[in-house]
Every structure is written in C-alpha cells, then in structure tokens.
Structure 1
Amino acid sequence: MRIHADALLFDNDGTLVSSLESVRRCWTLWAQEYGVTAEQFGRFALHGRTAAEIAADLLPAEIVPEAVARIERLEVEDVPNGGVHLLPGTREFLDALPADRWAVVTSATLGLAEARLEAVGIRPKTLITANDVTRGKPDPEPYLLGARALGVDPSRCVVFEDAPAGLAAGRAAGMTTVALATTHQARELDADLVVKDLSALSVLVTDRGVEISVRD
C-alpha cells in the first residue's frame, strides 16, 4: 500500500513518544489527591483526550481548573524521572521529512508537549497543542488547525495516531489516517492503514509530495 500526501500530522504521546510509564505514575497520584476511585478512573482512556476533558468528567466543575493545573505540573516535573522515550522508527521517519512538511498535533498542553519533545530531542517547526484549540480530539479542530498552519489542504494530509479519539478527529477533518498499534490493539483502531509503529513504514519525499509505504 502506498499513500501520497503533501503534509503529515503526528500525534505525540503513543505515536512519536512513549510516555505511558510517566502518564500512569502521574495520573495515579493525581487521582489519589482528588479522591478519584480506581473504578471511576478506569472508565476513561487517558490517551487522545485533553486533561481538561478528563478532569471535567471526573470532578466538580469548580475545581477543574485547579486540577488541570495540578496534573500538568505533575507531568512536566516527572519528565526528568524517565518513562518518556522515542518509539521505534520515530527518529528515522522524521529525519527523512523536510521541516515544513510535518507538524505535531497533540492533546497535551504546550508546556507538557514541549517538555516531552525536548526530552527526546524532537523540535517540530509546527506544534499544535491543547492551548491552541477550543475543542479537542475527536473534534477535527486540532488537525484542521495543523493543516492550516502548514498551508496544506486537509484532504492532502495524513494523520498518524495511536488513539481512537485522534483517528476520529483525522477522519472528521477529511484526512487519510494511519493507526499505530502502540497503546491499543489493532482491532480497536479504525484507520486507512494500521501498523505496529513507524518502523513498519518507509517515506520518500519528492517534488510532488510525500510517499508513504509499508516496508516488506
């Protein structure tokens, strides 16, 4: 299978970077601090949704802003403790792309996204975060904003995601979707192409755009 595009839009956590260890550590502590039970907490997927949305589902509205600030602080401070690293194939794949052909579109806040990307040495020219949007994934707004920032028609963009919410956002934006089975089972992911991670793909940049194919 070959996919042709003008620009590539990447989710970060679970797509480029593995942060599961850090996420679990910080959110477990956060839940304990705010009296959220394991049963309540277990109903919500952490990947692919903003912290504000998760907190709003679990806590009274009046303490949500404080709780969101707290989880961001916990996660940013936890980055140096380990548990954040590049997923297979990420470095090679991104190094093959011109800086103006790709962007990171994440549900994380700007501070957290920058901390995790800096920790693994990724410096995108274009970064879209929860601070830039009014509606997070699965709404298409984040990915439409990413396409606009790169000056590319949404139909000529490919979204790389590990979470159902992010894939839904890409589809709603009218983009081709590639799912990476890093945090979910392949059968849970609805996408134009499903692979294990970026190491399963090769990329070729030409004057006509970007060509993505599955390695033999």
Structure 2
Amino acid sequence: MTGDSAPAGRRRCVLFDVDGTLIDAVDNQRRVWRTWAGRYALDPDEVHRVALRTMPMETFARVAPDRDPLECLAALHELEDEDVRSGVYTAFDGASDLLHGLAPGSWALVTSNYEHRVRGRFARTGLPVPELIVDAAAVAEGKPSPVPYLLAARRLGADPGDCLVVEDAPSGVRSALRAGMTVWGVNAPSAVDGVHRHFGSLREAVPDILGFGTGGPRASAT
C-alpha cells in the first residue's frame, strides 16, 4: 500500500494491540494458565499450548470438556486479576516514547483482554492510557472478526483506510486486514501472514509509526 497524507478533512489514527505488542506478558500468561491447569489436575504444558491458539472458551472445551465452562472462565479471570495486582510486567522497548509521541485522540488500544486489566498493566509499566480502549466487553465478536477494529475507527471518527494497526498475532492481523486497515507486525522473528510491513521489534517501528500518526507520507508496503 502506498500513498501520501490523508485527504483534507480526514484524520489518521493508530490502533494498537496490547499483549505482545506494547507489553510483554508472555511469562504472565504462561504462569496464569499453568496455575489454572493445576486447579483442574490438567497437564499445564498442554493447556498452555492450546491456550496460545484459541480463545478461552474454546480452550476449556478442548482441555476440560467435562467441566462447566463458566466456572472455568471465572477461575481464569480470578487468576488474571491477581496477576495484574502482583505480577511483574515490562513494556517493550520504545513503547513509552511511541505512545507519548502520538497526539491525544489519534490512537487507541484494541484488545481481547478487559479494560480494567489493561489499565492495571499500564499503571504498572508507566505507559500513558489513551482516551479509547476497545476491550472484550465492548464487542460481541472478538478478533479475528473485524468488529473490534472497525468499532475503534468509528469511535475515533476515522475511515478504516486511514488507520494503521500495530499487531503481533495472526488473529489480530486477520481482524485488521478484514477491517480494511494498514497492518504492521512487530516483535516477531518473521512476518505474520498478511502484514503490509514487518519489524523485528517495536523499537524499530517507532519512527515510522510516529510518521504515520503525525500525517507524514506512508511508507510503501513490503
């Protein structure tokens, strides 16, 4: 995708995934799922392997089909909330500079997590919180549906074609592509299928993301 600045009267916005994109929560997620598996006497490695590829309710159906899924979800939420209070979180290098460099109202978070946990993690890492967070409770369909990203664009008053999405996971990339947005991948050794550009780290992407967010020319897709 190529182009110049957005036409007059239109604005550009940057939409960020959270876990794996701005905040490194891999160890936290592994610990939560291992603890959850222990409560149900399940193989923690197998549970975590499945959880990496599926949404929680689907995970429960696969690894604990004889258990009440709502009970399983309540237990998971309890563990996740405790982890936000007591776990150690780290923002990826470049995240603070990037988010502080974007104009208020020009960016948002689009996450499969819940807003209170995102706010807790941001408070722990010192990252600024945007005016808009589209979380799991805000939509009936999560990623890879385009609904979360389309909702974020609508609430920011931006056309989907003027939105840049920064993601690290295949489901999020598919969601943004289906929403008709430009998608850049970060924090992975190789590009996720479909991304317009790939950066090995968030830090590498900071100058170009800031350039997009401030209305500079769009870099060509690769």
TM-score (norm 1): 0.84
1:23 to 29, 35, 55: 29
Amino acid at match of 1:164: P
2:172 to 157, 166, 171: 166
- 1-structure distance, mates of 2:115, 2:130: 13
- 2-structure distance, mates of 1:110, 1:53: 22
- 1-structure distance, mates of 2:61, 2:139: 17
Question: What is the root-mean-square deviation of aligned Cα atoms in Å?
Answer: 2.6
What's the counterpart of residue 162 of structure 2?
156
What's the counterpart of residue 68 of structure 1?
73
- 1-structure distance, mates of 2:138, 2:55: 12
Amino acid at match of 2:103: P
2:134–2:148: 8 Å Cα contact kept in structure 1? yes
1:20–1:83: 8 Å Cα contact kept in structure 2? no
2:96 to 91, 99, 119: 91
Change (3 A) 1:146 1:67: same
What's the counterpart of residue 198 of structure 2?
194
Q: Determine helix, strand or coil for the equivalent of 1:104.
A: strand
- 2-structure distance, mates of 1:136, 1:97: 26
TM alignment of 1:118-129, pairs within 5 A? 118-121=123-126, 122-129=128-135
User: Is residue 9 of structure 1 aligned with residue 38 of structure 2?
Assistant: no
Structure 1: gaps (5+ residues): none
Q: Over alpha carbons, which structure has the higher Rg?
A: 2
Structure 2: gaps (5+ residues): 7-11
Amino acid at match of 2:98: F
- 2-structure distance, mates of 1:64, 1:45: 14
- 1-structure distance, mates of 2:196, 2:15: 15
- Greater Cα offset, 171-180 or 31-40: 31-40
- 2-structure distance, mates of 1:54, 1:131: 19
What's the counterpart of residue 107 of structure 1?
112
Change (3 A) 1:152 1:57: farther
Amino acid at match of 2:115: L
User: Is residue 37 of structure 1 aligned with residue 43 of structure 2?
Assistant: yes
- 1-structure distance, mates of 2:39, 2:68: 12
Report how far residue 76 of structure 1 moved. Answer: 1.8
The structure that is strand-richer by fraction is: 1
Report how far residue 109 of structure 1 moved. Answer: 1.9
- 2-structure distance, mates of 1:31, 1:68: 12
Aligned residues with identical type, % of pairs: 33
2:33–2:47: 8 Å Cα contact kept in structure 1? no
